[in-house]
């Protein structure tokens, strides 16, 4: 598992982290850990407290990836990371699952990470499970309808969520209902759009629950 902040003792060096963690896992691979340290630029003599937040995240990742785990669980792995570090991490996760025998489960508020890397999504909001299933199905099941203030009446009955502006609105509709809204701009919905509009004030309860 990898959390959003380090769980290693600050006074430990990277070397001590390996000495502490390696005995936990019979499948620990020293060479793999070494390779990740080199890839991430982590010197063995550096203490955990001397590492930046991104480097601490990479250290947790190096430990998590060095014992042939079949499932990697990450809690907000990219929050607080800069764009380059986030990119690096996503590349790493994609390499990790490339052989098809491993999986990654991560929680995030950064929807661009989902767009880029996720195959399956579970969407939870307000303490309720709203959707769980393939990412592409999630995005394909909605459309964004844009129009002026006078067009809202035609869309409102079928809208799952509406965001009003002074000059018009964005409405989220199910793909099947998009055909009922003629003469207005209909665009594909991104994950961001779906989350934004299903949480807009007065959004209709989504019926997107389905089994995993």
Partner 1 sequence: MMGGSPVRGPAVAARSRTAWKSILRAYRMDWCRISSPGRLFVPSVVALLPGFVLLITAAGGDARPDGGGAAYAAVSGASVWMYMIVPMYAFMYEQQNGAARLAGLMPVTRRRQVAARYLLVLTCTALVIVSWLLAAAVQVAFGMADVASIPSSVAVTAGQYLVTQALLCPLLYRFSTRKALLWFAASALIGFIVSMGSFTAAMRTTPSDALGGFVGAFNDAVAMLAGHPGASAAAFVLCSLIALAVSYRLSVRIYEGREL
Neighbouring residues of 154: CB distance < 8 A, sequence distance ≥ 6: 147, 181, 184
Distance CA 111, CA 72 (A): 19
**Contact residue for partner 1 among 14, 25, 120, 190 (CB under 8 A):** 25
Nearer to partner 1, 19 or 128 (CB): 19
State CA 31 to chain mean position distance.
29
Structure tokens at 19: 């000495």
Minimum distance of partner 1 from residue 101's CB (angstroms): 20
Minimum distance of partner 1 from residue 184's CB (angstroms): 49
3-class DSSP state for residue 73? strand
- 165 in contact with partner 1 (CB under 8 A): no
Minimum distance of partner 1 from residue 28's CB (angstroms): 11
Burial class, 173, CB count within 10 angstroms (exposed 0-12 / middle 13-18 / buried 19+): buried
Nearer to partner 1, 75 or 177 (CB): 75
- 43 in contact with partner 1 (CB under 8 A): no
Minimum distance of partner 1 from residue 22's CB (angstroms): 9
- 5 in contact with partner 1 (CB under 8 A): yes
State CA 90 to chain mean position distance.
10
- 28 in contact with partner 1 (CB under 8 A): no
Minimum distance of partner 1 from residue 124's CB (angstroms): 21
> Which region holds residue 168: left if phi is over 0, alpha if psi is between -120 and 50, else beta?
left
Minimum distance of partner 1 from residue 41's CB (angstroms): 23
The number of beta carbons lying within 10 Å of the beta carbon of residue 137 is: 13
CA 70, 71, 77, 78 dihedral sign is: positive
Element containing residue 103 per DSSP (H, E): strand 103-107
Of the candidate spans 18-26, 145-153, 159-167, 191-199, the one that interacts with partner 1 by CB under 8 A turns out to be 18-26
Residues 93 to 122 in contact with partner 1, rule: CB under 8 A: none
**Contact residue for partner 1 among 7, 124, 157, 199 (CB under 8 A):** 7
The binding site for partner 1 (CB under 8 A) comprises 1, 3, 5-12, 16, 19-20, 23-25
């Amino acid at each position: 598992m990898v959390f959003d902040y380090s769980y290693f003792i600050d006074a430990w060096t990277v070397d001590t982290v390996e000495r502490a963690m390696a005995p936990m896992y019979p499948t620990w691979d020293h060479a793999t850990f070494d390779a990740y340290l080199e890839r991430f630029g982590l010197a063995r003599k550096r203490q955990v407290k001397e590492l930046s937040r991104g480097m601490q995240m990479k250290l947790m990742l190096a430990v998590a990836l060095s014992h042939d785990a079949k499932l990697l669980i990450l809690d907000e792995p990219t929050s607080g990371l800069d764009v380059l570090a986030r990119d690096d991490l996503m590349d790493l996760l994609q390499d990790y699952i490339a052989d098809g025998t491993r999986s990654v489960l991560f929680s995030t508020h950064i929807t661009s990470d989902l767009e880029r890397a996720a195959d399956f999504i579970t969407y939870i909001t307000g303490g309720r499970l709203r959707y769980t299933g393939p990412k592409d199905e999630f995005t394909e099941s909605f459309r964004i309808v844009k129009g002026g203030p006078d067009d809202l009446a035609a869309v409102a009955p079928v809208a799952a969520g509406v965001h009003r502006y002074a000059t018009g609105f964005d409405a989220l509709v199910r793909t099947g209902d998009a055909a009922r809204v003629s003469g207005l701009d209909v665009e594909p919905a991104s994950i961001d759009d779906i989350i934004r509009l299903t949480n807009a004030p007065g959004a209709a309860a989504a019926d997107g629950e389905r089994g995993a």
